[in-house]
Amino acid sequence: MSRAARLLELLQVLRRHRQPVAGAALAQQLGISLRTLYRDIASLQAQGAAIEGEAGLGYLLKPGFVLPPLMFTAEELEALVLGSRWVIKRGKDARLAEAARRALDKISAVLPAEARHQLDSHALLVGPAPAEPAESPWLARLRAAIRDEQILGLTYRDLKGRLSERRIWPFALGYFEQVELVVAWCEQRQALRNFRVDHIQALQDTGQRYPRPRQALLKEWQAQEKIAAARN
């Protein structure tokens, strides 16, 4: 690995952490000595990277620092294109599919020539869906409500065909081969619940923001899933 690539990888590793990371842990991840890591940290700081910390305390990249744009490896480009093509071809959210197309166009427009050629000649293909996916009328609105942490009114048909009216705090969407699930706090049940998107009969915007942060709800749900998995 060249020094430039190593410095970029160090920035990428720091970006993934929200708490200070020990120098020894960073050196181990990068496969370099601790002495080399300290030199790399100092070099990045001299070039303007907002890295806080010192030896013995750990290092943290301050929020808001922007990496040099579009410095992708071949495999990173493959991952971006394959994921975008899956959204375009297999998804049920037309607005998200169009966003994926625009994102690929923007990336291609500003890539260096060699990387643009790799993007345009990408050979990882997405196979056809078992059945033509029907566009969902709810996914875009659910995504917007999750972004804005908005309470939704929900008319829902359960697996037994029974209708119910709910008020939910949606905080995550799960995309599976056949169905999509919205994960939410249900006010009626006073508990976390999963709702199949294709069983939603109607959505009502309440204009109300739910009182707990989305991240806190997500962490609670993840902890609940870990406990359930351990029991099984």
Length of the chain, please?
232
Q: Contact at 8 Å (CB) between 185 and 124?
A: no
Quick one: tokens of 174?
A: 């799960």
pLDDT in tens, 25-75: 999 989 999 999 999 999 888 877 888 887 778 899 887 655 555 567 778
The pLDDT value given to residue 145: 97
The dihedral over CA atoms of 43, 45, 51, 55, expressed in degrees to the nearest 10, equals 60
pLDDT in tens, 114-145: 777 878 887 888 888 777 777 889 999 999 99
Which of 71, 75, 105, 72 has the alpha carbon at shortest distance from 88? 105
Q: How far apart are alpha carbons 72 and 12 in whole angstroms?
A: 11
What domains appear along the chain, each with residue ranges and CATH number? 3-61 (1.10.10.10), 74-120 (no CATH), 139-231 (2.30.30)
Which of 37, 100, 109 has the alpha carbon at shortest distance from 69? 109
From residue 125, how far is each of 29, 77, 119, 176, 222 by CA, in Å?
31, 13, 13, 19, 32
The pLDDT value given to residue 1: 64
pLDDT in tens, 161-177: 999 999 999 999 999 88
Q: Residues 209, 182, 215, 193: is their CA dihedral positive or negative?
A: positive
Long-range contacts of 178-184 (CB under 8 A, 24+ apart): 180/92, 180/136, 180/139, 182/142, 183/221, 184/152
The dihedral over CA atoms of 68, 1, 79, 106, expressed in degrees to the nearest 10, equals 30
Q: How far apart are alpha carbons 79 and 187 in whole angstroms?
A: 38
pLDDT exceeds cutoff 90 at 189: yes
Tell me the angle at which helices 74-90 and 113-120 cross, rounded to the nearest 10 degrees. 40
pLDDT exceeds cutoff 80 at 184: yes
Q: How far apart are alpha carbons 173 and 142 in whole angstroms?
A: 8
Q: Contact at 8 Å (CB) between 45 and 12?
A: no
From residue 74, how far is each of 1, 71, 87, 123 by CA, in Å?
14, 10, 20, 12
